[in-house]
Chains A and B, each alone.
Chain A
Amino acid sequence: MGTPTQITDAPPPASQPAVDKRAARGATRPGDRIFLGLSRGSGILLLVVMAAIAVFLTYRASLAISKDQGNFLTTFQWDTNLVPPNFGIAVLAFGTVVSSIVAMVIAVPVAVAIALFLTHYAPRRLRGPIAYVIDLLAAVPSIVYGLWGALVLVPQMTGLFSWLNDYFGWTGVFSWEGGAPRSMLTVGILLAIMILPIITNVSREVFRQVPQMHEEAALALGATRWEVIRMAVIPFGRSGVISASMLGLGRALGETMAVATVLSPTFDIQASLLDPGGGTFAQNIASKFGEATEFGRDALIASGLVLFVITLLVNGAARAIIARRKEYSGANA
């Protein structure tokens, strides 16, 4: 989360020493001490809140998992009303990961292309309006995406699905039995639209930071505009684009109402992206919460804990990638 803001808000290097001097001189004044206390308090508060969430999730989850008849990690069923209850997250983990990957595969290239267009190709007059429209996409509530998806997108997908089945059905990934097109692929496309604005906006900010000197140097060496982008802009912005993608991935992993409205969840796993198979954590929680008993809620919380862990892992991986690339990138120089 912190990386993109670092990039966008990084103060120009020239003013750095002046700021430092002023800060050093004022360290003993009461205003500074109050501000220090407030900001330190906010930092600690964040940690306390995270710890409280983790403790709450773990406690309630342990209540449910201890009574689970099946294996919590491998069972292909979610029935907490049975005696004894039988539930597992295998299908949910599969669906959550697959739908998010589909969304990323579609959204990241498009978002990067939009960002490059806005920073390097678009006429100045067009930049404002296009950026504005992208921001609008981010402002649409997810349930509205869900309704649009269920009522408009799903019926329109039939053509694409049968085309994919005709030409790529042999791969197994794109085979289709002719059911209503409410599968992982449809959800992935919808999620891609939903995470597009966040990836685009952050990438655009990153590409805008590319030092003019780098680009001019490349041009002076006789590079075409595409070569400038390939040699100067993309290497510079890579770690920023990765963290932008991770922000988008975080949203895709946790998306609830849109998925619950569009997906046809089933408790089995299909190789095909076009046939109904799998659900997602957030969708399952939203669907089952209303009729859940006390125990059922604990079980749902246990699944929420797994999502929490997956999201942590994804963020950790993103940070690791960025840290490794830092030395090659100009962004943090």
Chain B
Amino acid sequence: MKLQRMNRRALALGALAVSGALALTACGSDDTGGASNGGGSSNAAAPSNVKCDDAKGQLLADGSSAQKNAIDAWVKQFTAACQGLQINYKGGGSGAGVTAFTQGQVAFAGSDSALKPDEVTASKKVCTGGQGIDLPMVGGPIAVGFNVDGVDNLVLDAPTLAKIFNGKITNWNDPAIKKLNPDAKLPDLKIQAFHRSDDSGTTDNFTKYLIATSKSDWPYDGGKTWQAKGGQSASGSSGVAQQVKQTNGAIGYFELSYAKDGLKTVDLDTGAAQPVKATVENATKAISEAKVVGTGKDLSLQLNYGTKAEGAYPMVLVTYEIVCDKGNKSDTLPGTKAFLRYIASEDGQKILSENDYAPIPADIISQVRTTIEGLS
């Protein structure tokens, strides 16, 4: 009995200690959070030409995780100038973002693909007198990373890429790869092609490129779900990048911003005189060949995946911000407009390339700016 009582006291003491520690760490993380925010805003000189329009309160948004880093960078700059406005962008995924938008929970959504017809219909319930429109705001090159001992540069074309990811080419010393890389020392090594295990706009855009350029080697419908059989998979761009980094013989696709820490990326043989590297500039060049196919105020783009222009990297994704053209909620409209105006501005787009995203080409972004001014 005595022993039990002592145990209980010890337990109570332990619980106290644990909760105390929790409280302490909670304070600790708060503090560091505040400090880093403060440091951030003092480092980044507040951009002088951000117009706040007396926007106040809180702006909720949700959507594509592919543009989360870009939004974070913008929010940091924007809120440094407009302190009355809080912007909270959850990178819960495009699907979650569009759902939240059509249910009226968020002021705007981010999405890797333009609204589908039924989603436009659903948006009419939220946008009184209007509908949801797509504004292209962020471009991103999709890099193909590889990890083969002794190979530093690798050139691939679309059909070879399709065959690798479809399990038709299984060894690094395959003649098709050798032909594109006559100087490389390609080992006798099994190719391990990594794709995304979760549904993703990156998969969608990567397979869109394969379908557009080599339909005979990629006999699938495309979409956010990976459809080819076999291969390896990992969750999220960071998961794929991590696996490629630690597996010899691996190849995988992810957004360029994940190609860090010595991860090597494939140069694309597009038919241009020189193979094209996955860079921000080359991606913007390819996006500039896109056509606006949206009707009315919608500015959704159709990319030209087959481009052979010199230095254009056609494996890109464009992410959109989705807002109502008319009928935005009156309490969030000023904030939404001010923030979108800033991110479409020259300053806003300039930040993109610092974060491994591709800015939207000048003629398209100027249409975006006009549309933003007309939001109501």
Contacts and interface: CB of A to CB of B under 8 A. Distances in A.
Asked whether A and B interact, the reply is yes
Interface of A: 78-82, 150-151, 154-155, 177-180, 182, 260-261, 263-268, 276, 279, 287-294, 296
B197 A290 contact: no
Interface string B162-204: 0000000000000000000000000000101010011111000
Interface of A: prevailing SS: loop
Contact of B197 (A151, A179, A287): A287
A291 B198 contact: yes
A293 B96 CA distance: 7
B225 A179 contact: no
A287 B200 CA distance: 10
Contacts of A177: 190
Contact of A290 (B65, B230, B232, B233): B65
Interface string B87-104: 000001111101100000
Given A290-B93, A296-B95, A266 B233 contact: yes
Contacts of A287: 197-199, 235
B5 to A, nearest CB: 17
14 contacts: A79-B227, A82-B221, A177-B190, A180-B246, A182-B234, A260-B197, A260-B235, A261-B239, A264-B197, A264-B232, A266-B232, A268-B229, A291-B199, A292-B93
B224 interface: yes
Contact of B199 (A266, A268, A288): A288
A255 B94 CA distance: 25
Nearest to A257: B235
Contacts of B231: 266, 276
Interface in B68-115: 92-96, 98-99
A291 B201 contact: yes
A296 to B, nearest CB: 7
Nearest to B243: A180
A155 B246 contact: yes
A266 B190 contact: no
A294 B122 CA distance: 12
A168 B246 CA distance: 26
B199 A261 contact: no
In the A-B complex, the 4 residue pairs with the smallest Cβ-Cβ separation, listed nearest first, are A290-B93, A291-B199, A287-B198, A291-B95
B306 interface: no
Contacts of A178: 190
Contacts of A81: 199, 223-225
Given A150-B239, A151-B242, 18 more contacts: A79-B225, A80-B225, A81-B225, A154-B246, A155-B246, A177-B190, A179-B232, A180-B192, A180-B243, A263-B197, A264-B232, A266-B231, A279-B197, A290-B65, A290-B96, A290-B199, A293-B95, A296-B95
A240 B94 CA distance: 48
Residue of B65, B96, B227, B234 with most chain A CB atoms under a 10 A cut-off: B234
A292 B95 contact: yes
A46 B106 CA distance: 35
Interface in B6-57: none
Nearest to A290: B93
A56 to B, nearest CB: 18
Contacts of A182: 232, 234, 243
A86 B192 CA distance: 27
A182 B234 CA distance: 9
A185 to B, nearest CB: 15
B66 to A, nearest CB: 11
B130 to A, nearest CB: 22
B96, B98, B200, B232: which has the most chain A beta carbons within 10 Å?
B232
A261 B235 contact: yes
B233 A265 contact: yes
A179 B227 CA distance: 19
Interface string B215-259: 000000101110101111111000100110011001000000000
Contacts of A294: 99
A264 B232 CA distance: 6
A315 B193 CA distance: 39
Given A180-B232, A264-B232, A288 B239 contact: no
Contacts of A289: 93
Contacts of B190: 177-179
Contacts of B200: 291
A264 B246 CA distance: 14
Contacts of B246: 151, 154-155, 180
Contact of A264 (B65, B95, B225, B234): B234
Contacts of B239: 150, 261
A179 B224 CA distance: 24
A291 B65 CA distance: 10
B235 A292 contact: no
Contacts of A292: 93, 95-96, 199
Nearest to B201: A291
Contacts of A261: 235, 239
A81 B233 CA distance: 19
Contacts of B99: 293-294
A267 to B, nearest CB: 7
B250 A180 contact: yes
